[in-house]
Amino acid sequence: IEMHKEGTRIKTMAAVVSISREDGIEDFLIKERSILKTDILEMLHEVAESNKERHVTIFMDNLRAHYSKEVQGLIKQNKWDVIFNAPYSSMYHCIEEVFAIVKRQYKKILI
């Protein structure tokens, strides 16, 4: 993960992360507030642009924005598979490990 110090004064954050089997963490979006539908759409458009030749599976938690018509429409348009995480099951929230790695690296820059 490569992060740059410019603009990294945020102490609390939410993250959207793009990972692949081949390359691990490919891209991420960190916000100083809750993730909004527009943030999800922004990331999904980037995923669509950079994965035109690859099959994509989207792993999502149960954030309300993930269920919006626009997000679901973009997923359907790109013929992506979607896996929704089990609600309220911390033992199955493996994506939290990925978020923790990104946030930990990000916070090191803040110090």
Tell which residue, 93, 101, 96, 56, has the closest CA to residue 75. Answer: 56
Kindly report the pTM of this predicted structure.
0.64
pLDDT of residue 88: 63
In the block, tokens 């820059």 appear at 109
Tell which residue, 93, 85, 31, 91, has the closest CA to residue 61. Answer: 85
Q: What is the pLDDT of residues 78-109, one digit of tens each?
A: 999 988 877 766 566 666 777 778 778 877 77
pLDDT of residue 98: 74
| CB-based burial, 49-74: b 16+ in 10 Å, e otherwise | eeeeeeebebebeebebbeeeebeeb
Q: What is the pLDDT of residues 19-52, one digit of tens each?
A: 777 777 777 777 877 888 999 999 899 889 988 8
Exposure of 47 by Cβ count < 10 A (0-12 exposed, 13-18 middle, 19+ buried)?
buried
